[in-house]
Copies of this chain bind each other. A is one copy, B any other.
Amino acid sequence: MSPTAARAAFRAGLRVPTSGYSAGWTQANLIALPRDYAYDFLLFAQRNPKSCPVLDVTEPGETSASIFGGDLRTDLPAYRVYRDGELAEDVGDVTGLWRDDLVSFLVGCSFTFEAALLEAGVPVRHIETGGNVPMYRTNRDCRPAGRMSGPLVVSMRPVPASMVATAVRITSRYPAVHGAPVHIGEPADLGISDIDSPDFGEPVEIRPGEIPVFWACGVTPQAAVMHSRPPFAIGHAPGHMVITDARDSEFLVP
């Protein structure tokens, strides 16, 4: 499905995780913040490039972006709206909530390298099951910037022990979309006490002989919003991404 067709389906009301959608086209995380917070967030992203690789930034109030020809208010499957850091609404359209001072940041998403993992024979469990990737708030703090601070969020994919090195090698070639894993095995080291109860997304089965592999996740900006409590923010619903008009191959380091 082309990005245009996928976005039209979401605009029409389809509400599903986007992993596996529009293969070859880059998916992105959304965080839209008031202009007054834009420098703090852009600096937060610069200081935390593994979790917050910025792919594009709009002008205040703008509803499309240079890598995204759709409408940021309607063309995602689902949104989360925050007021003073509290999740206020979980909706399929934010047209009525949009503001002229909102600067939208499109942040790289690990879904970008999943096609490359599959091609190399590395299984991706949440694609096999048609569910959402499990994501966890960790005990690692991001480097703060101005008024923005918060914990690192990670996504997890179980990888057969014999293929962990392959998964590292392949994803390290995509530094703009989280790159190599931040942690391999030992969930407790990240402060994850129950791997079957992710903070976002859905749990996946870890089979015998598989290692949980953790990548920095673009939900980190939303965790920073919850921690830092700016007056207003809009994000995508975790796993329900912005489908852009950029090609995955643009983010591949040769």
Contact residues of A with B, CB < 8 Å? 38-39, 42-43, 46-47, 54, 57, 172-173, 175, 253-254
Contacts and interface: CB of A to CB of B under 8 A. Distances in A.
Nearest to A47: B57
Number of copies: 2
Given A46-B57, A54-B46, A254 B172 contact: yes
Contacts of A54: 46
B39 A253 contact: no
A253 B175 contact: yes
Given A39-B42, A43-B57, A175-B175, 13 more contacts: A38-B39, A39-B39, A42-B42, A42-B43, A42-B46, A46-B54, A46-B57, A47-B57, A172-B253, A172-B254, A173-B253, A175-B253, A253-B253
A36 to B, nearest CB: 10
A145 to B, nearest CB: 8
A47 B43 CA distance: 14
A57 B254 CA distance: 28
Nearest to A169: B254
A253 B254 CA distance: 9
16 contacts: A38-B39, A39-B39, A39-B42, A42-B42, A42-B43, A42-B46, A43-B57, A46-B54, A46-B57, A47-B57, A172-B253, A172-B254, A173-B253, A175-B175, A175-B253, A253-B253
